[in-house]
Structure 1
Amino acid sequence: MTGPLSPDIVFPVGREEKRAFLLQAVDGLRDAVRDSADEAERTRTLPRSLYQAIYESGLFWMKLPEVLGGAEADPLIQMEVIEALARVDASAAWNVMIGSQSIALPAAWLPDAAVADIFVDGDFPVAAGSLMPSGIGVPEGNGFRVTGRWSFASGIRHCRWVNATIRVEKPGFEDHELRRVVLPTEDVTIHDNWDSIGLKGTGSCDFSVSDHWVSGDFSWAFSDKPQRGGRLHLLGLPGYVAYEHAALALGVGRNAVDLITQRAKGKERGFGSSLVSGRAAFQRDLGRFDIELIAMRAMVFELFGEIWDGLPSGEQPAPNQQAQMRSAATLATEVALEIARNSFRYAGGEAVYSSDPIQKCWRDLTTASQHFLVSDTAYEHHAKFLLGHEDADAFG
């Protein structure tokens, strides 16, 4: 985006006031999000007008350090925000969660000089990012010569900056250091390849650079501590992003249940024209869908809440806690996906058309479930911690 943050946006300091402010921002976007959903699906990115509305709402800054003017909301508040927006549209919620983390990361980790360049003259830019180490960086002077191609940079066409992960190649060293680099979007090549089955409106295109020098001031190592911000930025990986995936799944899953509940009341199937809502099989499943989502939500909020409340000052969650957070997000995604899939089945023939909102819930969650963070390896490494295996890795 090109304009500065609205001067009217000053985030409250108190927790409950901050929570109310951010949830009210979601309420204010509902109509715009709904009205833009079809265009986003068709064009494979959020419309510029919707991105601008989200920008002006302040939601992109919910993770941003308070010292820079952000909300720096705690994970439980952020989950409520993402969940509420995902009940309206998954692509909009996904762009908010990726956009908020992609600007908060450089804001918290980069040195003062780089932050001053990014937030020049009080400008609050939006950023995109790709976590997987799909690029190589060769040390050169006070920086790195970077080459690579990265996938899934959600919202990149609307962003001024982009983050990417590189493996640093050093002669004589077999182990490669992982670093993040931050580049102006105008310096990268955007590949128009986002043609997915779900989350269509996220605009999650690939981007690449070749033999591009990046100053060391615009880079940090995965092992570095943040230079500003509070304990939110000490959650580490996968904790720093795991709760976002759980929240998105809960929101889309609940939307699927709401939609099939309403449709079943008037949906007739078969030659006998019996209502779907009158079938015992549907009633059983609908009751199970509802209670599963209630249970998943309670588990996710309890687990993340306990870890957040118990986090010692200046410390990250323990590795086994990181594995728990990742597994919780994985389970929430799996449960929500199964609910959406079965809702799609009950929705009948009209659900086969791409414009059907229940089908969209299923497609969006199918796509979200392909993310590495919520893959089966989450459970494998969770179990390795339980078994005391030395190779347990919460992000393995």
Structure 2
Amino acid sequence: MNRLPALGLIERARALQPLISDEAAEGERNRRLTEPVVSALIENGLYRALLPQSLGGAEAPPAIFMEMVEEIANADASTAWCLGQCAVCAMIAAYLDHDAANEIFNAPPGILAWGAINHEVTAVDGGYLANARWDFASGSRQAGWLGAHVRVVEADGTPRLKSDGTPEVRTILFPAASATMHSVWDVIGLNATGTDSYSVENLFVPERFAALRDEPSALREHGPLYKIPTNSVYSLGFSALSLGVARATLDAAIALARSKTPQGLKAMRDNHAVQSLIARTEASLRAARAYLYATAEATWHDLTATGVLSAYHRNAVRLATTWTIHQSTAIVDTAYHMAGATAVFRANPFERRLRDMHAIAQQLQARDSHYEDVGKALIETA
């Protein structure tokens, strides 16, 4: 099977920016990505960035995946969010039987989406029986398969436990046609992600489509990428996404400053306060980006050298990604405020990015509690 080269992902993402920008308003109206955008992402192999090479994926290092998402976010945050979400979902292939993974990812459209951990499934002969509804399934409107992270209950009603006594959580996978979709995503930002809910009734899921995600003992692929927990890869992707939104918003403010003269004031380009603010904000953006990518590169370097993702690097990734999202939000707010009344018009490149950025900042990866977790770890480190 031909392998997708990782190095071309960034260039292909950049080349798609004009199409994605042109389609963004239509996606916003319809609350899902448009067909031309989805087709282009598929045709260029971007959904396959983190899929194992054994299945024809790129198995890209985190920094390449991040920059790919960042380039797409520069054009549209919703498109980048769906791409980042579904690309990480494809990492489940590393825990699946090869034939099962091939059935999911090498038949059109080859896209998997899922929602938050919730509910239980009952173990039955040959698999599991599911009756439940799940939320927050970004990219589900484009997916051919859906997944759900569920606790397992034995036939006698007792919970299945791991060796450490905690509940066993499996990721069950099933064709999207097996589920009922519920249109609930009526939100202020990331509107085109179509992050809807889905439910199943008395659905039998064969054992081969039930994986132990992020369980090292269940791994079938041995590349270093799959030694990184998917939640860490999500955080890297979504923080890079936030940088793309911040870059686009600040660039729009700089472009506006070249031509706008506010009523009763001097031209923005000649306003010393504006000049200083642009420089300071540019420095903040460059610093955030450098910190994030340096953390990702250092983590990858040590992982490939040792074969182990240390607790130090897990915490480093969590700190860098959370801080980057918060810094990006502040940069977008600054650029929006700098644009004045121009920013409130939907026709201008500010208000949707402001809404999208604040939707990003409300998600799990930007929780303030992450600082508490990292701070506690730093205090306890000998």
TM over 0.5: yes
Contact 1:65 1:229 in 2 (8 A): no
Gap runs ≥5 in structure 1: 1-6, 13-17, 390-396
Gap runs ≥5 in structure 2: none
Contact 1:231 1:313 in 2 (8 A): no
Look up the equivalent residue of 2:378 and give its one-letter code: L
Write the mapping of 1:85-104 to structure 2, written as runs, cut at 5 A. Answer: 85-104=72-91
The aligned counterpart of 1:289 is 281
SS of 1:80's equivalent in the other structure is helix
The aligned counterpart of 2:70 is 83
Contact 1:236 1:317 in 2 (8 A): no
2:335 maps to which of 343, 351, 374: 343
SS of 1:274's equivalent in the other structure is coil
2:180 maps to which of 180, 186, 189: 189
The aligned counterpart of 1:207 is 198
- Residue 371 of structure 2 corresponds to residue 385 of structure 1: no
The aligned counterpart of 2:242 is 249
The 1:183/1:264 distance shift into structure 2, 3 A limit, reads same
Write the mapping of 1:242-321 to structure 2, written as runs, cut at 5 A. Answer: 242-270=235-263, 272-311=264-303, 315-321=307-313
Look up the equivalent residue of 1:23 and give its one-letter code: I
Contact 1:238 1:325 in 2 (8 A): no
Look up the equivalent residue of 1:115 and give its one-letter code: A
Deviation of 1:316 (Å): 4.2
1:146 maps to which of 130, 143, 162: 130
1:73 maps to which of 39, 60, 72: 60
Look up the equivalent residue of 2:239 and give its one-letter code: A
Per-residue CA distance 1:273-302 (angstroms, 9 max, x = gap): 422333333222211110111111111111
The aligned counterpart of 1:126 is 111
Look up the equivalent residue of 1:33 and give its one-letter code: I
Contact 1:354 1:360 in 2 (8 A): yes
Contact 2:136 2:197 in 1 (8 A): yes
SS of 1:147's equivalent in the other structure is strand
The 1:148/1:387 distance shift into structure 2, 3 A limit, reads farther
- Residue 12 of structure 2 corresponds to residue 25 of structure 1: yes
2:96 maps to which of 97, 105, 110: 110
Per-residue CA distance 1:119-153 (angstroms, 9 max, x = gap): 46x656111122x2122112222222223322221
Q: CA RMSD in A?
A: 2.2
Contact 1:232 1:240 in 2 (8 A): no
Deviation of 1:238 (Å): 2.8
The CA distance in 1 between the partners of 2:105 and 2:21, in whole Å, is 31
Deviation of 1:227 (Å): 1.1
The aligned counterpart of 1:179 is 170
- Residue 24 of structure 2 corresponds to residue 37 of structure 1: yes
Contact 2:253 2:335 in 1 (8 A): yes
Percent identity over the alignment is 28
Look up the equivalent residue of 1:300 and give its one-letter code: L
Deviation of 1:154 (Å): 1.7
The 1:256/1:201 distance shift into structure 2, 3 A limit, reads same
The aligned counterpart of 1:50 is 37
The CA distance in 2 between the partners of 1:81 and 1:244, in whole Å, is 9
| Count of aligned pairs between the two proteins | 372
The aligned counterpart of 1:164 is 148
Contact 1:250 1:336 in 2 (8 A): yes
The CA distance in 2 between the partners of 1:59 and 1:229, in whole Å, is 22
State TM-score, norm by structure 2. 0.91
SS of 2:118's equivalent in the other structure is strand
The aligned counterpart of 1:232 is 225
Contact 1:238 1:326 in 2 (8 A): no
Contact 2:17 2:71 in 1 (8 A): no
